[in-house]
Amino acid sequence: MDDEVERSFSSKEISTDAGIPLTGHSGRRVMLFILAAALLTAAHIVLAMAWPRLAQIILSPPEPTSSLPTPVKLNPNINLALYVGNLFLLGSVLLSRRALRFRNLLAYAVGYAVIVWLLWPLIWVMTENLLLLVLAVLVYGSLLHYPHLLGYLYLFLVCQRFLPAYLYPSFILTSLLYTTILPFVRAWRRERQRFIPLCHLAGLILLTVLLIPIVFFCTQSSPQDIHQRLEEAEVLSALGISLKTSALATLMVLLLGVPFAYAMVRRSFPARGLIDTLIDLPIVIPPPIVGITLLAFLGPKSPLGAFFEQRFGVSFFDSQWGIILAQIFVGSPYLIRASMVAFAAVDVRFENVARTLGASSLSAFIRITLPMSLRGILIGVILTWFRAMAEFGALRIMANRPRTIPILAYERFIDFRQMESQSVGVLILLMCLCVIVGMWIIRLMPNILGKSIGVSDAAR
Amino acid sequence: MLRVEGLRRQVGVFHLRIDEWAIEPGQYLVLVGPSGAGKTMLLETIAGLHRPDAGRIWIDGREVTSEPPEALGIGFVYQDCWLFPHLTVRQNIDFGRRYHQKSGASPAPKTDELTDMLHITDLLDRNPQTLSGGERQRVALARALAIQPRLLFLDEPLGTLDPVTREHVGTELQNCHRSFGITTIHVTHDHSEARTYGDSIAVILDGKLEQMGPTDEVFRRPRTAKLGGFLGCENMYEAQAVPTAEPDMIKIDLHQTTFTVRSHKVGRVSLCVRAEDVLVERAAGKEGKDERDDYNIAAAFTGRIVTVSQPGAMVRLVIDVSGRRWVSIVSHSQQRQHRFCEGNMVTLRIPNDALHLISLE
């Protein structure tokens, strides 16, 4: 054991100090490398000299009448670059400290052939893309010790070769699949677990169906296009209205809904179950019906609407008040639910202890329960905020003006068809993606509560 | 100090019924009862965390039945500590101070004093999640003591700890009680823990307070057979007690042996002897009782040892006395002296003061 440790240590030292391992076994490898390098050099020189004839034989298109540019000239610089790339790859294979078994070597050779096969045809289209091949070879050599990273390279190349139009969405999605599915494949093989990997696969299929159009759509507009949209007064004002009204709506839900959620969790009262179910009512009702209902109740022709109009000069039809009202209506369930879940996760005994230490119920709520459930509430705020911002159906009916972003996108689509509405759509989508990233970060926040629950469970 | 009268609280099918309960100032009382007996609910109700359906509670002569928990000054330490996870240990300990600055004539113990006493000074800046079970319990105790409570409720404070830590924390609980003199109620389901720590104990079964008194008294003389069973009295037999000519003396017939004891319980009784009070001797050549101990010994039986086992620090003998199973616990030094083995014939002698009769009528 000690011997082994010492040996591994010393070999490490030698390789870092001298650059090349000098022991007997490694010496043979160096010899092998020099031999292979000589062969490679010879091959490249022959290639450079014989290129024009070779190109005629191998690369001539099947149909001479094809419009593609025929016999490509081999740029000597590219040949040189490719030579360096190959040499690097050879060095990585033969001089690596870890001994490569024949099977691995074969796998790498196949991989190399795949790269060449995938990228070679690009020469038909563009000579410059040979550089991509060189780059791939370099990357391939340096990835030798990280086999799982090679997967991403292959995925990129395959997407590039077969789905050039959908390169980015398909690459992002396939690499996502590859990342998450790899451990499950291992579990499948090792533990003969079948059910959970299958469940996972089902989820991934669903996620793919959801994500492919979105990612595809996002890659359809150029940043310049989006920037241009951001300079349009109409878009900016719609964005401002959307942000303002939805923020106000969220604030209202926050002020009323969070205390309500706390009461729902901590107290039992008559008809609690019914009220619990009623919270979800806005999710069930179709948005246009919400618009019609609110219009009937508070519209200019309704008694209450008329009263507000005369008494306070507040109209709920085609005004920001109407927008906020509709947004509160559709967005409230998300924050209330999220807060209820967060509060329920804080054991009442935390508050009990705080109470016996002298804190009033309000003080215990502010100093103990609120900080511990902050994460859940924040997630609820974001959900409600963006659900409010996304509201379209109800606004279309009761508060079409001032325009919010979804209304704007819809009107652009009706007036100018797809191309014009596209960049607005991408703008909104990007905002939503930022939100998702924000929620992800909140989820990554140190989970105070989870940890403490875990510990006490373990202690129990 | 604390007085409870006619307390009633019902949750689902469970009833808590405490008719009369009073605790002297400065006492260290252990409230013992099986899981689900309502111990925690009783403490929480007294601490004002639940409203009782009926009944009244006094602390220091002041009625506090409908006062909120923050007004009572009761320190509450739960089994799982419930240290606030978003605060450091120091912030946890100091949590209640801001509410208790003005009130109270004598200043509350300083954080440093408390932490020194409980040996947690080097944990002050740690996060509660990183503490071990014993450390968490000490911090929770310090947090409760920092408000200088009038009453200290400890709900299974040693329940989750390993035996070694349990002993350390238990010692510190007693030290704290000694140095601050705070009236303490310590809840546990473990009767040996109750016996170790309590000056006096109260037993609660199914929401009812069964018996309360000095620890030894309750353990030796349980009021009902059920209570005796819960408190770990292993030798309990039903017998018939017959009055004798002498007043206050009765005659009991058990295992083909008849003996008289001083008692006035007549009729069907349950005879109850704790295993550690049964004296065991190898049945040597001479039969019968030793003359010297005669006045002290109520009864003696002869039996055969069935099993010898060593749970913990003691040796446990199971002895077959004419078909009935008797248990005796002897110390290791006694075992070394007598070398009890399975199959030995032994004499069991029951001292007068260890024999307890529970009337079943």
- Tell me the DSSP string of A145-179: T-HHHHHHHHHHHHHHHH-GGGHHHHHHHHHHHHH
Query: Rounded CA gap, B67 and B57, in Å?
Result: 10
| ipTM value | 0.84
Is B214 found in the same domain as B304?
no
Contact B86 A451 (CB under 8 A): no
Is B86 found in the same domain as B32?
yes
Is B344 found in the same domain as B210?
no
Domain of B277, CATH number, reads 2.40.50.100
Torsional sign, CA A400, A403, A406, A408: positive
Contact B95 A357 (CB under 8 A): yes
Provide the residue count of chain B.
361
Mutate to test the interface with A, among B80, B89, B160, B182 (most CBs of A within 10 A): B80
Nearest to residue A331, comparing CAs of A280, A375, A265?
A280
Q: Which residues does residue B238 pair with via DSSP β-bridges, in sequence order? A: B270
86-105 in A: which are within 8 Å (CB) of B?
Answer: none
Q: What is the pLDDT of residue B243?
A: 83
Domain assignment present for B253: no
Is residue A356 within 8 angstroms of chain B, CB to CB? yes
| B2-30 per-position pLDDT tens digit | 999 999 999 888 999 999 999 989 889 99
Compute the nearest-CA separation of A227 from chain B (Å): 43
Is B156 found in the same domain as B57?
yes
Q: What is the pLDDT of residue A190?
A: 74
Confidence of residue A181 (pLDDT cuts 50, 70, 90): confident
Confidence of residue A246 (pLDDT cuts 50, 70, 90): very high
Beta sheet of B324-331, edge-to-edge order: B279-282, B345-351, B297-309, B314-321, B324-331
Residue A37: CB partners within 8 Å, gap ≥ 6? Answer: A87, A90, A91
Q: What is the pLDDT of residue A72?
A: 52
Strands B28-32, B183-188: pairing is parallel
Q: What is the pLDDT of residue B286?
A: 52
List phi, psi (to 5°) of A16. Answer: -80, -35
CA dihedral B85, B86, B88, B90 (to 10 degrees): -90
Cβ-based contacts of A460 with chain B (< 8 Å): 80, 160
Contact A356 B69 (CB under 8 A): yes
Taken in order of first residue, the domains within chain A and their CATH numbers are 15-162 (no CATH), 226-459 (1.10.3720.10)
Average pLDDT over all residues of chain B: 86
Question: Rounded to whole angstroms, what are the CA distances from A286 to A292, A337, A391?
Answer: 10, 19, 11
Q: Which residues does residue B8 pair with via DSSP β-bridges, in sequence order? A: B17, B54
Domain assignment present for B233: no
Is B176 found in the same domain as B67?
yes
Cβ-based contacts of A367 with chain B (< 8 Å): 95
Is B39 found in the same domain as B147?
yes
Query: What does the pLDDT average to over A231-257?
Result: 91
Cβ-based contacts of B84 with chain A (< 8 Å): 350, 353-354, 368, 372
Is residue A459 within 8 angstroms of chain B, CB to CB? yes
Residue range of the domain that includes B345: 271-359
Which of A358, A449, A452 has its CB closest to that of B96? A358
Contact A352 B69 (CB under 8 A): yes
Which of A347, A359, A448 has its CB closest to that of B82? A347
Domain assignment present for B265: no
Is B160 found in the same domain as B20?
yes
Q: Which residues does residue B75 pair with via DSSP β-bridges, in sequence order? A: B152
Is residue A179 within 8 angstroms of chain B, CB to CB? no
Average pLDDT over all residues of chain A: 77
Domain assignment present for B241: no
Domain assignment present for B262: no
Mean pLDDT lowest among A413-417, B73-77, B155-159, B282-286: B282-286
Strands B235-243, B356-359: pairing is unpaired
| B208-238 per-position pLDDT tens digit | 999 999 998 899 889 888 888 888 888 888 8
Residue A142: CB partners within 8 Å, gap ≥ 6? Answer: A88, A92
| B232-244 per-position pLDDT tens digit | 888 888 888 888 8
pTM score over 0.90? no
Is B175 found in the same domain as B40?
yes
Domain of B60, CATH number, reads 3.40.50.300
Q: Which of B162, B196, B227 is the last residue of a domain?
A: B227
| B32-65 per-position pLDDT tens digit | 999 888 899 999 999 999 989 999 999 988 999 8
Domain assignment present for B236: no
Instruction: Indicate the number of domains in chain B.
Output: 2
Q: What is the pLDDT of residue A123?
A: 57
Domain assignment present for B257: no
- Do residues B2 and B192 make contact, with C-beta atoms less than 8 angstroms apart? no
Domain assignment present for B261: no
Is B118 found in the same domain as B15?
yes
Is B152 found in the same domain as B96?
yes
| A130-174 per-position pLDDT tens digit | 666 677 777 777 776 676 777 787 787 778 777 777 777 788 778
Q: Which chain A residue shows the shortest CA-CA distance from B49? A: A352
Is B318 found in the same domain as B197?
no
Q: Which of B172, B202, B227 is the last residue of a domain?
A: B227
Res B153 pLDDT > 80: yes
Cβ-based contacts of A355 with chain B (< 8 Å): 48-49, 68-70
Compute the nearest-CA separation of A352 from chain B (Å): 7
Res A385 pLDDT > 60: yes
Q: What is the pLDDT of residue A380?
A: 92
Q: Which of B227, B258, B281 is the last residue of a domain?
A: B227
Mean pLDDT lowest among A432-441, A446-455, B338-347: A446-455
DSSP one-letter string for B123-183: GTTS-GGGS-HHHHHHHHHHHHHTT--SEEEEESTTTTS-HHHHHHHHHHHHHHHHHH--E
Is B278 found in the same domain as B173?
no
Which amino acid is located at B303 in the chain? G
Q: Which chain A residue shows the shortest CA-CA distance from B99? A: A358
